[in-house]
Amino acid sequence: MIDTVFRNVVTNALKFTPKGGVVHIGYILEEEYIIIFVADSGVGISEERQKKMFRLGYRVSRDGTDGESGSGLGLILSKEFMLKNGGDLYFESNEKNGSKFYLKIPRLL
């Protein structure tokens, strides 16, 4: 499940970063968690969309920078997968200034 979440977040970062942009992947070690982050220099997420992220019943999907489509379910499922494994998925973003997604994974795994 965590592998699927990581793949989804990286794919999204690439999807929403225009050619010539940058995607950084790194990690932070904490006592009880490993936090993997995926940061991009892409289009970012508006405040309005941020409020609806991870919530069923709201369509927050949009086309990627090359017109790629999506269902909007990937991040909802990813959040659930992380919670089921004792972790979390969260993000910070500024519209037009990219996004940074965090996968918080218990060090037991």
**pTM across the whole model:** 0.86
pLDDT tens column, 23-51? 999 999 999 999 999 999 998 888 888 88
The tens digit of pLDDT for each residue in 52-69 reads 887 776 555 665 565 565
Q: In order of start, what are the domains of the chain with their CATH numbers?
A: 2-106 (3.30.565.10)
Sheet holding 33-40, edge to edge: 23-29, 33-40, 99-106, 88-93
Token look-up 């950084």 returns 24
